[in-house]
Amino acid sequence: MNLSPLKLLAISAAVLLGGLVWQKNREIARADPRQHTGQNGIVMLGAEWCGYCQRLKAGLEAAQVPYTELDVEDGGAGQDAFAALGGRGVPVTVIGQEVVHGYNTVRLGELLSERGHVVQLK
């Protein structure tokens, strides 16, 4: 089979683009905080200006619940984790392998309670 230079160029470009997309998807998957939370770890993705994030943090701290906070605007791990979880707004909370988008006090309370934490969220 004899391929023209244009066809070879198109095939090469497609392979290169496919490789770049594959690599980016691997990077996003590695940034998913569920990779590190196990069944009980807690990660809160938020932003400094977010009132709901502040309320969630206050509730977790008042109940002495250990958690990791990541800023989605830091240009690093927080932003990558937010993208990996398909975040569209903050807070995004990972409790074990469960993801809660927004300040859903009922769902957050259920998941925290299942792990032995009594947290008052308003």
pLDDT in tens, 37-48: 888 899 999 999
Phi, psi of 75 (to 5 degrees): 75, 10
pTM metric for this prediction: 0.75
CA atoms within 13 A on the CB side of 88: 1
pLDDT in tens, 41-100: 999 999 999 999 999 999 999 999 999 999 999 888 899 999 999 999 999 999 999 999
- Specify the pLDDT at position 12: 67
